[in-house]
Chain A
Amino acid sequence: CGFQLRGSYTLPDQFQQLHLQVQDPYAAISREVSKRFKASGIVLLDVASDQAPIVILGKDKLERTNLSVYPDGQVAEYRLVYKLNVNVIQPDQKPQKLALQVQRDYLDDPRQALAKRREREILLQEMREQISFQLLAQLSSL
């Protein structure tokens, strides 16, 4: 049916090397993004240079909205929305802004207040991994 194994990462070659500039060097998202970049063969330069692209991570943001309510009006499902704004500056080009967003839904239960906090921690870590994938994918479409 025409499928063959992928020969190479679809990352355009101008992104083979880049400088990752983060607001918060020890934040989990900075670590997650640099891990994902390294894993897909990107060389991370220590110093920004004008020959290689610069990827600037903004502050990540976590929001929660109500999705549905139970018949008694209490919230049933919440949606966690994890957002990350990234600026990509390619050599002698105007900065391009990527507004990345991933989401997870979870069922609330006031009897399990503590456990629901732990569930949010797991979902947040998963969303950080997923948003790093999304950043990589969107880089290849620049």
Chain B
Amino acid sequence: SNNNDSSSQPNVTGECLSDSVHVDSGINFSPLDANQPLSISADRVAGDHESELTFSGQVKISRGPHRLSADDATLDRAKQQLGASGNVHYQSPNVEVHSSSLSADANANVIVMTDSEYQVVNNPTHGSAQNIEIRQEDQKFILEDGSFTTCPKGDESWVMNADRIELDGETEWGEARNSVIRIGDVPVLWMPYMTFPLSDKRKSGLLFPSISNSSRNGLDVKQPYYWNIAPNFDATLTPRYIANSGTQIGAEVRYLRPEQSNQFNVEYLDSDDELQNSDERYLYRWLHLGRFNDNVRSFVEYTEVSDDNYFNDLGSDVASETDNRLERVAQLTFLSEQLDSNLTVTDFEIFGNTPDVYRQLPRVDFTYRLPYFDDLIDAQIYGEYNRFEHSDNQLVSANRYHIEPSLVYNWHAPAAEFQAEAKLYQTYFDQDDPTSTYDSSVSRTLPSLRLYGQLNFERSVNLFGSDYTQRLEPQVQYLLVGHQRQDDIALYDTVALREDFYGLYRDRRFSGLDRIADTNQITIGATTRLFNSANKETLRFSFGQIFYFEESKIIEQLSGRKVEDTSAFATALDTYFDDYSIHAEYRYNFERSATEASNILLNYTPGERKLIQLSYRYSPEPLNFTNVSGDPLDSREVNQLGSVVSWPLYDRYQLVASHYRDTELKRSVETLAGIQYQSCCWAIRLVYQRNLNTNFPEGDGTTADRDAYDSGIALQFELKGLGGNRDSSGHRTMIDESIFGYRKNYYLNN
């Protein structure tokens, strides 16, 4: 019934479902319960005061927030047991149960109710059961031969019937034996045994199969199946049927302990019918996070895939289909007041025919901070040892030893800030080069001096009729770095850093330590901010430029940049007013009269679940890159226009659409359109997506004919409350399908 008068139906955007199904703590009949009296009123009482009393006629029992009413009841104080019969109505802060009889044992803290109907308080979850057992000790709410749904009474769109359903309040897991889920009254899913999350504390996600199809895979059905083995040990088994490829089995096992957590992912497909003579396609991954005490941490992330196009073809939760490499890291970290130190091993697997890269086997670094002399001076010594190796043994390998003492003088006042930093880069390279183009040992000593000054001006100003405090912060930085010839040092972990506004005030032009650019430069810039009457920053505009007094000899050789007297003029704008927010970065290189990497993002969010976003990103081809093939598809230039719209329709529909376009090649990068219908207790999403493929040539040089685009439709059905996720509008879930929605998590160990 397309009923758009939402007043008659509970507003479905989340109010009608509390976060999780709470399990009752049960009524405790033992009179010795220290804090609350137990009172029973009835028409008649009879029996032995000391042991057994029978109550009859509208019996009403209450203790604290718990209430029980029945026709008759008997209380045996010796055995600590209470029995009630005749339209028994039990009411606790979490659940309300109507049953024909109730028996409660105070010693065992168990209440059993027969042929009962239950309703969770302020939550549509309800159902019935031949027996309901509330075990107060381990917070269990057990239904025998019962039903369970999170839909409101009278609108049971889905119901689960099972021989036994156990809802565990502590671990917030549900377990069902021999269960059948009916939609309407059509049985759709039968499970001999299954577990399901009652909240998203431990595991959220679809209990229901997710069905999609794509031009590459055809019909693609995944059915996650949770198995809560122990409070700190669970597994998710995901059989997946892919029409064009075959049946894949996926498993994620998580083993969580107080001091460390481990997660293992495996995905295995014995052969992919889509590829000729395809052998196995698999992925396995180990993620380890350890925190043994405040000082010692460990971290391991190791992923292995069978071939470069694995993510692009089959997709995986573990990585985005646009990734072009796997980073394998093992790290041991020691942290303390003065000394931090890391032992890190890093390995890579690069997809496609990009040349292999250097590995760090290992890196040992430390930072020693001398205690504050007084708050004005920070002194620290940073040191690092690296062993660089490359798979191609014709290439140079090296040991690099680096020490970097630095002294920073900070002076702060409301009106001004001043910083002076003196640093010494001392690096020693011990290089083993079979082709002897690089020296076997090179020592480099470079001093660096940085002076930074900032003034803070303020005035009040009236704009568009409201008062603002405007702050103007001119910033000046002088940087002097010594020069030494470095072309006898190979490049292991060094690349030119992005020259955006934040780069103007950095004291280094390159990441890594194989090149330290000599420079004698001054950066001049300023930031202006507007604060509204509530002292909230509503606008921030910054600009600046670097002026070089001498030509840097290192720069040109490495980044291909013709020697210039100034950097690009960089600006950055962030502003939020009413329902609008704008983020923009623009850089213009006067000497080359060319725009450098720039972008703009406009957000209009007039209300909850309403968003219109426009973005444009431009990034020129890097100076040190030449498009050898001349094929526009190999260009490294970005001209991307993006639009995202998310809008509610009536109360229960949510429309989502996003389109990203390459304005240079005049073709779409990704088109995504989704619609979600949701009611109080279930949601269905239909998402169409067409996006550019990330095709890599096969390892053996052959390139299977993969089309440039992949398009498909995904159908997601979700039972809310049974592990349904909290994003009630479905916006985030639908947008996550986009190649721009994928969020990779970096695990911070320090």
Contacts and interface: CB of A to CB of B under 8 A. Distances in A.
A and B: direct contact (Cβ < 8 Å)? yes
Interface of A: 1-10, 24-28, 38-41, 60-77, 80, 104-122, 124, 126, 137, 140-141
B359 A114 contact: yes
Interface in B447-498: 455-461, 469, 471-472, 492-495, 497-498
A67 B339 CA distance: 36
Contact of A111 (B355, B456, B617, B619): B355
Nearest to A25: B294
B322 interface: yes
Contacts of B512: 114-115, 118
B414 A8 contact: yes
B638 interface: yes
B635 A70 contact: yes
Given A7-B415, A77-B617, A70 B636 contact: yes
A64 B744 contact: yes
B595 interface: no
A73 B322 contact: yes
A116 B622 CA distance: 15
B51 to A, nearest CB: 50
B638 A141 contact: no
Contact of A3 (B458, B508, B694): B458
Contacts of B320: 66, 75
B318 interface: no
A3 to B, nearest CB: 4
Contacts of A121: 511
User: What interface size band does chain B fall in?
Assistant: 35 or more
B497 A9 contact: no
B360 A114 contact: yes
B622 A63 contact: no
Nearest to A104: B502
A74 B375 CA distance: 47
B748 A73 contact: no
25 contacts: A1-B459, A3-B458, A4-B458, A6-B471, A8-B414, A9-B414, A28-B340, A60-B748, A64-B744, A65-B742, A65-B743, A70-B638, A71-B633, A71-B634, A75-B320, A76-B619, A77-B638, A112-B357, A112-B495, A113-B325, A113-B348, A115-B493, A115-B494, A116-B495, A141-B535
Contacts of A68: 617, 619, 638, 640
A3 B746 contact: no
A114 B617 contact: no
B438 to A, nearest CB: 17
Contacts of B455: 5
Interface in B555-607: 597, 599
A41 B655 CA distance: 50
B502 A63 contact: no
Nearest to A114: B493
B511 A122 contact: yes
B650 interface: no
Given A24-B294, A66-B320, A40 B412 contact: yes
Contacts of B301: none
B253 interface: no
Given A62-B746, A113-B348, A119-B511, A73 B375 contact: no
A99 to B, nearest CB: 14
A63 B694 contact: no
Q: Give the one of B500, B511, B634, B665 with max A CB within 10 A.
A: B511
B381 interface: no
Most chain A CB neighbours (cut-off 10 Å) among B352, B410, B750: B750
Q: What is the predominant secondary structure among interface residues of chain A facing chain B?
A: mixed
B336 interface: yes
Given A27-B750, A71-B665, 5 more contacts: A4-B457, A28-B750, A105-B500, A110-B352, A119-B498
A137 B498 CA distance: 27
Interface in B405-433: 410, 412, 414-416
Nearest to B348: A113
B739 interface: yes
Contacts of A122: 497, 506, 508, 511
B68 interface: no
Given A75-B323, A114-B346, A69 B357 contact: no
Contacts of B494: 115, 118
A40 B417 CA distance: 10
Contacts of A65: 740-744
A106 B638 CA distance: 13
Contacts of A5: 414-416, 455-458
Contacts of B741: 65
B628 interface: no
Nearest to A75: B322
Given A38-B375, A39-B375, A117 B746 contact: no
Interface string B627-644: 000001111101010000
B69 to A, nearest CB: 37
Contacts of A76: 619, 636, 638
A67 B740 CA distance: 6
Contact of A114 (B358, B508, B693): B358
Nearest to B749: A27
Contact of A77 (B323, B414, B619): B619
B619 A115 contact: no
A76 B637 CA distance: 9
Contacts of A6: 414-415, 456-458, 471
Contact of A107 (B294, B597, B693, B746): B597
A51 B456 CA distance: 31
B307 interface: no
Contacts of B669: 69
Nearest to B708: A73
Nearest to A9: B414
A2 B506 CA distance: 32
A119 B742 CA distance: 21
Interface centre among B348, B458, B500, B741 (most CB of A within 10 A): B458
A26 B337 contact: yes
B160 to A, nearest CB: 35
B327 A3 contact: no
A74 B694 contact: yes
B103 interface: no
Among A67, A106, A108, the one with the most B-chain Cβ atoms within 10 Å of its Cβ is A67
A69 B664 CA distance: 13
A1 B457 CA distance: 11
Contacts of A40: 412
B465 to A, nearest CB: 18
Nearest to B642: A68
B662 interface: yes
A73 B694 contact: yes
Given A62-B748, A63-B743, A110-B354, A2 B461 contact: yes
B217 interface: no
A122 B510 CA distance: 10
A69 B157 CA distance: 42
B622 A107 contact: yes
Contact of A2 (B324, B352, B459, B498): B459
Contacts of A120: 746
A118 B664 CA distance: 31
B386 to A, nearest CB: 9
A140 B536 CA distance: 8
Contacts of A104: 502
B511 A118 contact: yes
A2, A63, A66, A116, most chain B CB atoms within 10 A: A66
